[in-house]
A and B are shown apart, each in its own frame.
Chain A
Amino acid sequence: MSDIPPFLQDLARELEHDKEIVRIKKLLLLACTGHWESDGHKIALLDTARLLQRLHSLSPTVDRLSMRLKRAAAHLNKPQVYGVIADRISKRITNLFAPTDAEPTRTSTEPRLPVEGEGERTLLSFQGPGSSSTPEPPTPEHETQTDKRVGNLAEYNWFAIRFELLRATNPLRVKILSFFTLDPQTSFNAYTWASIKSELLDRLLYRLCEACPTLDDLESRLQSTVNRFPEVEEYAQAAESMIRVLDRVVYSADPEPNQLAQESFGATGRFPGFELFGDVGEGTQLSSGLPTPGSSEDDESERSMFAVENIFTRARP
């Protein structure tokens, strides 16, 4: 447990004395992984501190962490019971970092949890092979669904989604991020650059939402992709915009059927418009289908693979 920050270890110890520790661990696991575990033996084996560490890495601020727990609780069969559990965890976390007399100058309304060094920000070691004894629980598809989920994608107004996204960030970075999130094994070369150019942005977004059924999936997979770029800051801004826009218009709890989409395309379950005309792209198709979980290793070889400048100067789109 030496890699877990002391404040999380303290919090874990406190929560383990709670009479609702089983439900707390179930909810933490759900909020972290999207999986629901009902087997008491497996729950007992879960390490609370590890779960908190993972949750912290996914939602590094108190507000986001609380929101994540509440969203998970809201999708359970007993939302009120787990809502109380979510509030209890959030309250303890908030108390832990509430301004004290010793910190009179702190004014932020969204206090940031302490981070023990930048390298621990994503806490990827939690997922690494052999790094944890935490068992991976099976997915109880019939019991619960976690987080905000996509509805029928064909019902959304993709013109409006694209418009909002293009106003918020750089269209090319959105395309690059979407492409490599969908196909994390691909390296940046002339072929992939041509593929990015030929596939339309909203079609990439559509495929991305298809591949990420929950907002948590989208967040974690985009984060992994961002960490592979040398220009982390620029891509983090694009990813943040994507999450913000897609959260509101695609992953919202009650997606409103879109009038425009219904008028023009109907609910075919395929990308709007394309069913009418076949693939009107300029030809290049991605070689792989839906993505497999990508490597999160942030080593130098991957960074050089994503040396955008080099490929931009060489590629002949």
Chain B
Amino acid sequence: MDAQAILQRYKAGETNFSGLNLSGCKLIRADLVGANFTGTDLSHANLILSYLNRAVLRGANLAHIKLSGANLDRANMSAANMRDADLHGARLEAADLRNVNLSLSILTDANLVEADLRNANLSGINARGACLRGANFREEKRVYQGANLRGADLSFADLQGADLSGADLTRANLTGANLRETGLRGVNFTEANLSGAIICNSTMSDSILDRAVLVQANLTSVRAERSSFNECNLSGSTCQMALFADAKFVNAKLLQADLAYARLTRADLSRADLSRANLSQVDLVDSFLTRTNLREANLTKVLMNRAEMSSANLTGANLFNATMPDGQIYHQIY
């Protein structure tokens, strides 16, 4: 069946096109609102700027499909194969994309607001500048695995309020992304690039950020208890009032980071570089500061009760009114 026949049948009132072979079909700007393409083969088809609002594409073969600028608001594409699809500037608001395979797809500047992406395979996607506010990627035990976003390019993407709990973002690029108030519990950010990202007020407890780059990232008021930042680069970042209790920063770089009022209770900062960092009024009670570099750091009013810091480098550090490991208040200003 060709494109013309589809359009004629749709115009005549037919909406069920499930199971057809429409591979390579050209349906540019076609109005197919609410049509049913369940299990249909639309691979390599061209549906640029088409209207597929509320369409059903469940389990369809949409590999290499061109959907630039298409309107897929509230469409159901669950379990579809959308590998290498082009969705540049498409609308997918509140679309059902559960279990979909979107690997290597282009989603630049796409609207995925409140899309359901649970258990979706999004590895290697290009979603630069995409709007994913309120999107759901959440892992749900025994039902949905965390979304696979390994190697995804999400630079300057907007993920505010999205739930990425349990997602795999290994080596993902989140440069300049908006992750404000995002659910990031148990996310794997190993070797991810989060430079300049805004992660304020997000919950990222039990996450893995080993070897990730967070240069000049904004982590104000973030909750990251028990998270691992080993060998992570947080230089120039803002982490004021962040919660890092029991977190690991072994060999991490925190040069000139602003950690004022942060809570690092029992945190492991062994061999971390915190030179010229602002640790004013930070809670470092019971923390591990073995060979930590605190050169010229601001440690005014810091709480270090029982902290292990006998081998820390405090050259030029400002310890005014700091509470030392033995409970004594330090008064000398360097």
Q: Could you tell me which A residues sit within 8 Å of B by CB distance?
A: 159, 162-163, 166-167, 170-175, 197, 200-202, 231, 234, 260, 263-265, 272-274, 276-277, 280, 308-309, 312-313, 317
Contact = CB atoms under 8 A, between A and B. Distances in A.
A175 B89 contact: yes
Given A171-B90, A200-B109, A276 B196 contact: yes
Nearest to B71: A170
Given A277-B175, A309-B29, A171 B196 contact: no
A-B interface, 10 closest residue pairs, ranked by CB to CB distance from nearest: A172-B89, A172-B69, A273-B176, A200-B129, A171-B89, A166-B111, A201-B109, A159-B178, A312-B48, A276-B196
A264 B66 CA distance: 35
Interface of B: 26, 28-29, 46, 48-49, 66, 68-69, 71, 86, 88-91, 93, 106, 108-111, 113, 128-129, 131, 133, 155-156, 158, 160, 175-176, 178, 180, 195-196, 198, 200, 216, 218, 220, 238
Most chain A CB atoms below 10 A, which of B28, B90, B111: B111
A272 B177 CA distance: 11
**Interface of chain A: mostly helix, strand, loop or mixed:** helix
Nearest to A312: B48
Most chain B CB atoms below 10 A, which of A173, A175, A231, A272: A175
A5 to B, nearest CB: 35
20 contacts: A159-B158, A162-B158, A167-B111, A170-B71, A171-B91, A171-B111, A172-B88, A173-B49, A197-B88, A197-B106, A200-B128, A200-B129, A260-B178, A263-B218, A263-B220, A272-B176, A276-B176, A277-B176, A309-B29, A312-B49
Given A162-B158, A264-B218, A277-B176, 15 more contacts: A159-B158, A159-B160, A167-B93, A167-B111, A170-B89, A171-B90, A197-B106, A202-B156, A263-B200, A272-B176, A274-B176, A276-B216, A280-B175, A312-B46, A317-B86
A163 B176 CA distance: 16
Contacts of B238: 263
B160 A308 contact: no
Contacts of B180: 260
Contact of B66 (A234, A276, A312): A312
B49 A172 contact: yes
A272 B88 CA distance: 22
A309 to B, nearest CB: 5
A197 B89 CA distance: 9
A175 B29 contact: no
B131 A166 contact: yes
Nearest to B197: A264
A175 B196 CA distance: 25
Contacts of A159: 158, 160, 178
A166 B113 CA distance: 9
Given A166-B131, A171-B111, A200 B156 contact: yes
A313 B216 contact: no
A317 B220 CA distance: 39
A308 B49 CA distance: 10
B175 A313 contact: no
A312 B128 contact: no
B23 to A, nearest CB: 16
Contacts of A162: 129, 131, 158
A312 B109 contact: no
A200 B48 CA distance: 19
Contacts of A163: 113, 131, 133, 158, 160
Nearest to B238: A263
Contacts of B128: 200
A261 to B, nearest CB: 10
B196 A277 contact: yes
Contact of B108 (A166, A173, A200): A200
Nearest to A167: B113
Contact of A313 (B26, B71, B91, B106): B26
Nearest to A275: B196
Contacts of A317: 86, 88
Given A170-B69, A172-B49, A273 B156 contact: yes
Contacts of A174: 89
Contacts of A200: 108-109, 128-129, 156
Nearest to A310: B28
A173 B68 CA distance: 10
Contact of B89 (A201, A264, A277): A201
A313 B24 CA distance: 11
A313 B46 contact: yes
Most chain A CB atoms below 10 A, which of B156, B198, B218: B156
Contacts of B69: 170-173
Contacts of B216: 276
A197 B128 CA distance: 10
Contacts of A234: 49
A172 B90 contact: yes
A237 B129 CA distance: 22
Most chain B CB atoms below 10 A, which of A163, A171, A263: A171
